[in-house]
Amino acid sequence: MKTIKITIISIMLAGFAGCADNQVKHDAAVVTHNECCKSVSEVEIAALFDRWNQTLQDRDPKKIVALYAEKSILLPTVSNKPRLTIAEKEDYFQHFLEKYPSGKIEMRRIAIGCNMAVDSGLYTFTFAKTGERVKARYSFTYKWDGLKWLIVSHHSSVMPEIK
């Protein structure tokens, strides 16, 4: 009986491996919650850009916006307006997609935390419709929602010094 209890406890502890116990202070009360961290590699996070870039090729703004969390921000490359709502993001991508864009990562750094990851670096967009190329800086911040990785913050800005 003692062996069974030890086995059950061991299994339960193994199931919680990778979970973080967080304390958050909210108005004089301390709230404690457990958060299980999704195991992920840099290769998997890098593939999220490929997923996003491939979705651009479908030229469907709704499909692209589906890769973003409901509460997310898009600070786009070719617009001065921050996009917070689904409708605002769809509007941006509607116009962006008209040029048939395709992105290529030039260099990147990936940082991984508990259910969050940041992919930052430089990329170049080529617009098939015009032949134009735009070099830009980028950062994608991803959050694991329990089912999939979603973009919670996407910042892209044209390189200030063109060489």
| 75-131 confidence digits (pLDDT tens) | 998 889 999 999 999 999 999 999 999 999 999 999 999 999 999 999 999 999 999
Provide the residue ranges of all domains of the chain, joining segments of one domain with +. 2-36, 42-158
Question: Can you give the pLDDT at residue 9?
Answer: 41
- Distance, in Å, from the CA atom of 53 to the CA atom of 61, rounded to the nearest integer, reads 12
Separation between Cα atoms, residue 162 and residue 158, nearest integer Å: 9
pLDDT at 30 over 80: no
The CATH number corresponding to 42-158 among 2.40.260.10, 3.40.50.300, 3.30.1360.10, 3.10.450.50 equals 3.10.450.50
Question: β-strand 29-36 against 116-127: which pairing, if any?
Answer: unpaired
pLDDT tens, position by position, 143-159: 999 999 999 999 999 99
Whether the predicted pLDDT of 37 surpasses 80: yes
Q: Which amino acid is at 5?
A: K
Give the separation between CA 136 and CA 138, rounded to whole angstroms: 6
Name residues whose C-beta falls within 8 Å of residue 119's C-beta, 6 or more positions apart in sequence.
45, 46, 48, 49, 108, 109, 110, 138, 139, 140, 142
Check residue 13 and give its pLDDT.
37
Between residues 25 and 49, the one the model is more confident about: 49
